[in-house]
A and B are shown apart, each in its own frame.
Chain A
Amino acid sequence: MAKYIFSTNQKHALGKRRCTFCTNQVGVIDYKDIKSLQHFLNAFQRIKGRYYTGVCLNHQKKLGRAVKRARHMALLPFTN
């Protein structure tokens, strides 16, 4: 599976916000890659907002689609 280097993206710690998928140059976000998807989920298994993760809008949409596919196939839970 693709290994991403996650940027913490604290708005105030880093001057700039950086998207993890843009920095790793990811075209397709794989719905089977649960480990890295879980980084963008809450403790309640809800998708974190862009404000907290710093993902760009284009990739946030793709990420949401990937998470929902994984949920449909019971790789990720809907709620916790």
Chain B
Amino acid sequence: MAKKKLVKKVVSRIIETENRMYEIMFILKPDMLEAAIKKKLKEFNDFLTSKEGKVTLEDLWGKRPLAYTIKQYEEGIYVVYNAELVSSFISELEVHLRLDNDVIRHIVMSIDEDYSYSKFDEELDEKDDKSDTKPKKAPVKKEEPKKEEVKKEEVKEEVKEEVKEEVKEEVKEETPEPSKSELDDKLDKILGDVDLDI
């Protein structure tokens, strides 16, 4: 009997312990617009702070391919929160995230106080882009000093012609690459500003 009383006391203490650090991570649908995402995050922030919560960190990773399909989506928008919350508030939070139709997946976990958040690195995608851009720019830079060094007119003309041709080719190559991302941004701006009711 004594043991049961002790257990009850301990459990009550654990429940009563007021504030703890939590890390919340969830994935939003990939077809959400920027304005909608901002609104969503604001609402969530208000929801956390409504019951004596403190948001210490908010990080939007952006769109990222999923390792496997979730609800027929192959991409997702990742969001991470670090917050100091009341421990009895967590069950409410879970329900809130589960009922939200824009959230595909979520995880809530407790953190130690000396936890330091380290930013997520995009591993492969960014490196490939950089490796593509660097070699294109590098040869142009190498040829420019050559012009100054060699003072023969004939050589200069040849080099200039070569450079012009290369520049034209580069322009042709570079234009199609950013077009997809730019188009997406433009679409977001157009659709987000006007708030069309379709």
**A contact set with B: CB distance below 8 Å:** 1-2, 27-28, 30, 32-35, 69, 71-78
Contacts and interface: CB of A to CB of B under 8 A. Distances in A.
Nearest to B25: A73
B155 to A, nearest CB: 47
Contacts of A71: 67
Given A72-B105, A73-B105, A74-B105, A34 B66 contact: no
A77 B67 contact: yes
Size bracket, chain B contacts: 20 to 34
Contacts of A33: 118
A75 B107 CA distance: 13
A48 to B, nearest CB: 18
Interface of B: 25, 27, 66-68, 70, 76, 78, 80, 105, 107, 109, 112, 114-115, 118-121, 123
A78 B67 CA distance: 8
Contacts of A34: 123
A74 B107 contact: no
Contacts of A1: 118-121
A59 to B, nearest CB: 16
A43 B71 CA distance: 26
Contacts of B76: 74
* Closest CB pairs A-B (n = 7): A74-B66, A77-B67, A74-B67, A1-B118, A32-B120, A1-B121, A76-B67
Nearest to B124: A35
A64 to B, nearest CB: 15
A30 B118 contact: yes
A15 to B, nearest CB: 34
Given A72-B107, A73-B27, A28 B115 contact: yes
25 contacts: A1-B119, A2-B118, A27-B112, A28-B112, A28-B115, A30-B118, A32-B118, A33-B118, A35-B123, A69-B107, A71-B67, A72-B105, A72-B107, A73-B25, A73-B27, A73-B78, A73-B105, A73-B107, A74-B27, A74-B67, A74-B105, A75-B67, A76-B67, A77-B67, A78-B67
